[in-house]
Structure 1
Amino acid sequence: MNEQDLKRAFQDVVVASSPPPPMDPGIALGRAHKARSKRRASITGAAVAVLVVGVGLGSAFALNPQGTTDYLVGAGQSSSSSPGLPDTQWGEQWPVGQSDRTATNGPQADRGRQLLELARASVPAGYEAPDLKYTDPAMHGGMLRAQAQVSSDKGESPEIWQYTAYVPVRKDGKVGRLTVTVTTPNPSDPVEPCALVTRFKGGAGEGCKTYDVAGKQVGVVSSTSPGQNDATWASYRAAGGWTVTVAQEEEYPYAGYPVLDRQPFFGPELAALAADPKFLLGS
């Protein structure tokens, strides 16, 4: 007997039927005795069912307390992590399959490559994102690259991963760089947009401005310090704690190509790009 059968059994006992038509008192008395016997049988059956279910749950609880509790409250299997967040198996020091903080294969490396494709597709009209090589012989590999690395140490909670995409942006033979960095929720990340972007930039923000992008607050700051590569950063912290920072530079450092005449995005456009939900990587 399941819960619905038990419920119906009790309803059969306690719910009154419609009044019967007038009949002979003797016949009515006989039928009353039969009805009383039937009700007693129903009550007894329901009580036995409750007892059997109770005994069964008691035995199950003794064998698996958590599983029995989940059954009673209608809960499914518990999970150690929220949807969209990493659930990594660790070795002695680093995640399994890694020799340092960087993931070169597996689901986290895949996220880094996914971010690279999203960033590459975000280059504005009039620019292209070619797969260029460094001209400096001291540099190796391509300029179009992705990285996924764990920022937290083994045993720390929450586990924090950072994904970064580096995209060369070319126009008229001149090359700059677009960098997109996405971080899983980190309790130490500032909520205030300018504090967030300044922290990511790693210093004071000259003239940080907050933009409202469809109700999302994005901090944008530029750096024009003498002797440094001009760059603009835009940082956004989503409601779930994920952060996105987009940086644009007129020069791709160490690439050896001519520098762009101007950065590809204006401030409001860069803010809108940082707030684009596509960069939250399935959070």
Structure 2
Amino acid sequence: MKKLLIVDGSNLLFQMFFGMPARITGKDGRGIWGTLGFTGALIKIIKLTSPTHILVIFDGEHKNERTETDSEYKANRRDFSETPDEGNPFSQLFDIYSVLDFMGILHFETTDCETDDLIATYAKKYSGEYDIIISSQDSDFFQLVGENVRILRYRGEKTVLCDTEYVRAKTGVLPSEYADFKCLTGDGSDNIKGIYGVGAKTAAELINTYKTLDGVVCNAGNIKKTSLREAVLCGRERLIKNKKLIKLTGNAEIPVKAEDAIFEDRGFSSGEVLSLTGLK
């Protein structure tokens, strides 16, 4: 079976820009540590997964429908528009695009939806004909895991390839139940509030008992623990809103077909790539 590697480009950029131990500069004095880290990580991910096709997707600037549902959605995210280059990961973005072009890897920015939605669409549309690996630290993608869809969380020697059993062992629920589970716990990274007092263990217990978020809401009056029952009853509107924020429907319009993302590995190291692109 063909293998499609989908890289959450912005996620990997931030991971490498802020995670590199040294602030490395290129021959012109510009910072390239994020680019070097991104390139090295991508090469290692490619070696780990041996894809036949690769897509790297970055978040672009566009209207976000989720902020219309909840104005607080991602309101905790830092605005880098006035941040100096040494603290701004986006300052190295075009160098990363040059690297991807040199490596023959198809890449683009989203124009009318979040990267998560577009990745979900590729996963759902092509999982019947491709073995799909999504490279990202974002746990929202757990809801997409299935027979031909896995999540790679790149962490050097501690890299993990997440399948159904991994998700169940880590969260206590199945991938198909993960979005409902997350609605109950909330998501601090996206500034989504959950139900007061409900952590991962309690959320898993509720989902395992009532099967779905709708089941939890409909049976809220039957929850034995008084404080939990009242919290769920008071938070029903919050749960409905959370479902709109967290669920990845996979119905976005795709800008390119997966078959156009064919990849041929030429075996370059990260240092060679940066040298040959004039960055180092």
Tell me if TM exceeds 0.5. no
TM norm structure 2 = 0.26
Q: Highest CA radius of gyration, 1 or 2?
A: 1
| Larger proportion of strand | 1
Larger RCO, structure (CA 8 Å, separation 6 or more): 2
